[in-house]
Amino acid sequence: MTRHYSAFSLLKEGLRGQKGWQPAWRSPEPKPRYDILVIGGGGHGLATAYYLAKVHDIRNIAVIEKGWLGGGNTGRNTTVVRSNYFFPESTALYDLALRLYETLGRDLNYNIMLSQRGIVTLAHSEAEMEMAARTVNAMQINGTDAELFGPEDVRRVLPLLNVSPEARYPVFGGVWQGRAGTARHDAVAWGYARAADRLGVDIIQSCEVEDFLIEGGRCRGVKTSRGEIRAERTGMVVAGHSSHLAAKAGFRLPITSYALQACVSEPIKPVLDTVVLSPGTGTYASQSDKGELVIGGALDRVPSYGQRGNLPVLEGVVAGLLEMFPSFRQLRLMRQWAGIVDVTPDSSPILGESPLPGLFLNCGWGTGGFKAIPAGGTLLAHLLATGKHHDISRPFDLDRFARGRLIDETAGSGIAH
C-alpha cells in the first residue's frame, strides 16, 4: 500500500490504476479510555492531537468530532494566513502559527498549498495612514515583517483597485505584510488528520459529546453518542459551540457566538494575486487557485448558532467589493455560507485550563481561527501534556478577564467587531 505522497508514488499509482493508495486515516471504534481526549475534529483539534503525538510522544489519544473532519469553521473560512496584529503577545502567537505554516507541507507530507502572496490592509484617509504607520512600527518592533505602503505601492499590487480621488473610500496607502497569504483550508485539516493517524491517534467522527464525566470535581472524560470515553485530560476545541459545551461542564465563558459569512464568485482568470482588506468598505478578498474570488466581511450582528448568513451583511460585503473593484460587477456569486465563530470581548483567543479541572480550552479565535491552527495546536498540546502554560499561551488564559489584563486587538489592530 502506498502511504508516502511524492511525484514517484503518484507515477507508480498512476501506472497501477490508483488502486494501491492507503486510506488517509482509519475510522476506529472509540476505546473506553485514553490518556488525552480532544473534542473537536477541526484544524485546531487535529493539530493538537498531532503535536501531542509528535512533540510530546503521547500516543494514546483520541479526537472526537460530532460531524466530519474540518466540517465546521475549518472548512468555512476564507483561507487567509497572516500575523499583522498589534500587541507583542499576539505577534508571538500568530507569527508562531505563520512560521509553522511555512514548513507545514513538508512536515506533514501533505500539500497545504500555502501561497505567501501578501496582504494589504488599505488606509482611506490621512488619519488612517497615521494608524497604519503605528501598526507597521508595532509589527516590526514585535519581530514580524511589515511595510508601509503609499498609494503607488498599492496601485502596483492592486492594478484593478478603484484609486480615483472620487472613490467613496479614496486610497492613501496601507499596511503590507508580504509573508501573509492563503493556504488550502481542507488540506490543513486533512494533512494533520493523516499525520496524527499515522502516529496512532484515533480519529472518531460522528461522535457527539452529550455530557462530561465529572468525578471529585474533576473532568474524567465525556459521555458521547457512542458511549463513555474516559481520559486523564480533555481538550475542548469547538469554536462557536464552546459556550454550549461549557454549560454542560457547569461554567460560562466570555464568548458570544455569531455567524460569519463568506462567498465566492464564479471562477475567472487571474486578476488578483494578493489579499486585500478595506476597513472602509468592510470587505476583503483574494482569488483562489481555482479562480474564484473569495470574499468576506464583518459578522452578522445577531448572535446565532444557525450556520447561515443574513442578507444585510452579504449585501454590504458585495457592495464593498464593487466599490473597490468596479470591474467585478458582472461577476456572478456561486456560493455563500457561514460558520459560527466564538467572539471574545478583546478579540483574542482563550487558551488554558477551564474552571473545571482536567478540562482545557482552545477557543475564542472569533473571526480568525484558521490562521492560528498550528499555534493553537502546539499550545494546547503543551497544556494537555504538561498541565502548564507555554510562555506564548500564558497571556491568553481565561484569568485575564478577572485580572483586567485584556489583549485588546479590537482596538489594537482594528478587528471590525
Q: Which residues bind other proteins (CB under 8 A)?
A: 241, 243-244, 247, 252-257, 301-306, 310-312, 345, 401-404
Indicate the SS3 state at residue 380.
helix
Q: Smallest gap, in angstroms, from Cβ of residue 197 to other proteins?
A: 30
Q: Which three cell numbers stand for residue 47?
A: 493539530
- Within 10 angstroms of residue 237's Cβ, the number of other Cβ atoms is 28
Q: Smallest gap, in angstroms, from Cβ of residue 346 to other proteins?
A: 9
Question: CB-based contacts of 294: which residues, under 8 Å, 6+ apart?
Answer: 78, 79, 182, 262, 264, 285, 286, 287, 288
User: Which sign, positive or negative, has the C-alpha torsion 234, 239, 241, 247?
Assistant: positive
Q: Which three cell numbers stand for residue 214?
A: 465529572
Q: Which is nearer to other proteins, 158 or 406 (CB)?
A: 406
Q: Is the separation of the CB atoms in 370 and 81 below 8 Å?
A: yes
Q: Smallest gap, in angstroms, from Cβ of residue 402 to other proteins?
A: 4
Indicate the SS3 state at residue 106.
helix
C-alpha to C-alpha distances, 6 to 9, 88, 202, nearest whole angstrom: 5, 39, 25
Q: Smallest gap, in angstroms, from Cβ of residue 110 to other proteins?
A: 33
Q: Smallest gap, in angstroms, from Cβ of residue 38 to other proteins?
A: 21
C-alpha to C-alpha distances, 278 to 111, 161, 167, 265, 348, nearest whole angstrom: 30, 11, 13, 18, 21
Q: Smallest gap, in angstroms, from Cβ of residue 383 to other proteins?
A: 21
Q: Smallest gap, in angstroms, from Cβ of residue 256 to other proteins?
A: 5
CA distance 63 to 73: 17
Q: Is the separation of the CB atoms in 133 and 150 below 8 Å?
A: no
C-alpha to C-alpha distances, 322 to 95, 297, 319, nearest whole angstrom: 32, 13, 5
